[in-house]
Structure 1
Amino acid sequence: MPETTRESLTQGGWKTLDFEPFRDGVTIHWIKRFIDDQPGVALLKYEAGASVPRHRHEGLETILVLQGTQSDESGDYGVGCCVINAIGSEHSVWSDTGCVVLIQWDRPVRILTED
């Protein structure tokens, strides 16, 4: 099995993975870290009430919600939602209930404001 394979993510397979601190109230499990100009792929786990401050996307970002609800200024995204954030777009992200998302970034985001 390739190093980058994770089993049964949509059925809760992420629950057995190791997560590390990412931001206050948000942990990360790297599936593929950024290397040079290669995209990064990870799982983010938000505690209830956690947020990521306003940021700009320096590359395309793709999110698939695996559990809970993730929100931004455009709405709330539940299990199975796929969210695409275009290059140059800006938003903040939060989860009132807690959530787990699969995320792929072409490039790291640029934080614009700290909450």
Structure 2
Amino acid sequence: MPRTTRETLTTGGWKDLAFGPFREDVTIHWIQPFEGDQPGIALLKYEAGASVPRHRHEGLETILVLEGIQSDEAGDYARGCYIVNAAGTEHSVWSDTGCVVLIQWDRPVTILEDS
């Protein structure tokens, strides 16, 4: 896999990147799409009030909140929070304020209930 870089993500550099559709009111910028057994790495941008329905992690998922607040059933995670969701865990995700997160998935998630 060739080297991939994104500059100044923690200081707002993500604002200059192109985002495309992911889910309603959530957009994505792929840093490394899933390829073979390689994990997927992306930035997700949630508009205020956006959510992702309940889903199961089929592999490890890690999240770093870059801006705003991301929430799930276990709590609220502000800028600088690092979240690890183990394979087999389930939750739904939302952002009342809007947020941007750096996320890495070992494998795609399975949506359990769709809104």
Same fold (TM over 0.5): yes
The residue type equivalent to 1:97 in the other structure is T
Equivalent residue runs for 1:12-91 within 5 Å:
12-91=12-91
- Distance in 2 (CA, whole Å) between partners of 1:16 and 1:40 is 21
- Distance in 2 (CA, whole Å) between partners of 1:69 and 1:52 is 14
5+ residue gaps, structure 1, are none
What do you get for the CA RMSD once the two structures are aligned? 0.8
Corresponding residue for 2:8? 8
Identity within the alignment, %: 76
Q: How many angstroms does 1:3 deviate by?
A: 4.9
| 1:112 to 2:112 alignment | yes
- Distance in 2 (CA, whole Å) between partners of 1:38 and 1:58 is 14
Corresponding residue for 1:98? 98
Partner of 1:104: helix, strand, or coil?
strand
- Distance in 1 (CA, whole Å) between partners of 2:3 and 2:11 is 20
Q: TM-score, normalised by structure 1?
A: 0.97
5+ residue gaps, structure 2, are none
Once the two structures are superposed, residues 4-62 of structure 1 have per-residue CA deviations (whole angstroms, 9 ceiling, x without a partner) of: 10000000000000000000000000000000111000000000000000000000000
The residue type equivalent to 1:9 in the other structure is L
